[in-house]
Amino acid sequence: MKKALIIANGKFPQKKTILNLIKNAEFIICCDGAINNLTKKKISPNLIIGDLDSISNELKQKYNNILVQIDDQNTNDLTKAINWCVKNNFLEVEIIAATGKRDDHAIGNIALLSKYAKALNVRMITDYGIFTPILETTTFKSFIGQQISIFSLNPNLALTSENLKYPLNKLQLHSWWMGTLNEATANNFTISFENKGEIIIYQNN
């Protein structure tokens, strides 16, 4: 399975496990200005993608052979990176550094996960937890006491849960706050729904 690690231009992660994830990644895609953080860490990406307006001429020359310039202003650099992965037959993507600077960008990037999930397996990893989009009933590995939040992009979709402290029984999450601050009661939990939907699950690290 072709797997890529996309590094966005948000706050660069500090957690050691995520830094190790970068060092051990099979294929690193850097979103535009994120190359500045990678340069400081002495890490070289396999690809740099975006409108390239945040990269110095010096770095453009250094990485000239791996630059992919896309000037389309109707999509952000993260979406450009995902689209490139789909076109190049990557099946699994992990995204880091997509939050932590502008809150509006963070919300937008998280919401986009459901769109990406229609094309490949994807999740977003931060210093604090993992966001995973699902389109159908899914069981997650977990641990007792893990903090769980559920965000529904389909407010009329009825959700049911197993192994959560505050059970969902065909509950419609009309607002994003309604599915937050839950907790796993076993080493796995399930979120189920009858029809196709767009749900984002958050699990703290």
Judgement on whether residues 26 and 109 belong to the same structural domain of the protein: yes
Whole-angstrom distance, CA of residue 95 vs CA of residue 73? 21
Judgement on whether residues 162 and 95 belong to the same structural domain of the protein: no
Residue type, 175: S
- CA distances for 70 relative to 4, 80, 156, 200, angstroms: 19, 8, 37, 28
Domain that holds residue 110: 3-127
Q: What is the pLDDT of residues 153-174, one digit of tens each?
A: 999 999 999 999 999 999 999 9
Give residue 60's pLDDT.
85
Q: Which of these three, 103, 127, 151, is where a domain ends?
A: 127
Judgement on whether residues 159 and 195 belong to the same structural domain of the protein: yes
Please tell me the total count of domains within the chain.
2
Judgement on whether residues 147 and 73 belong to the same structural domain of the protein: no
Judgement on whether residues 77 and 168 belong to the same structural domain of the protein: no
Backbone angles phi, psi at 28, to 5 degrees: -105, 125
Lowest-pLDDT choice from 21-30, 44-53, 140-149, 177-186: 44-53
Q: Which of these three, 81, 103, 127, is where a domain ends?
A: 127
Give residue 74's pLDDT.
72
Judgement on whether residues 121 and 139 belong to the same structural domain of the protein: no
Judgement on whether residues 161 and 181 belong to the same structural domain of the protein: yes
| Average pLDDT rounded to a whole number, residues 193-205 | 93
Judgement on whether residues 98 and 142 belong to the same structural domain of the protein: no
Judgement on whether residues 85 and 186 belong to the same structural domain of the protein: no
Judgement on whether residues 167 and 70 belong to the same structural domain of the protein: no
Judgement on whether residues 11 and 112 belong to the same structural domain of the protein: yes
Query: Which one has a higher pLDDT value, 75 or 96?
Result: 96
CATH number of the domain where residue 52 is located: 3.40.50.10240
Judgement on whether residues 101 and 149 belong to the same structural domain of the protein: no
Confidence of residue 1 (pLDDT cuts 50, 70, 90): low
* CB distance 71 to 51 below 8 Å: yes
| Average pLDDT rounded to a whole number, residues 24-44 | 89
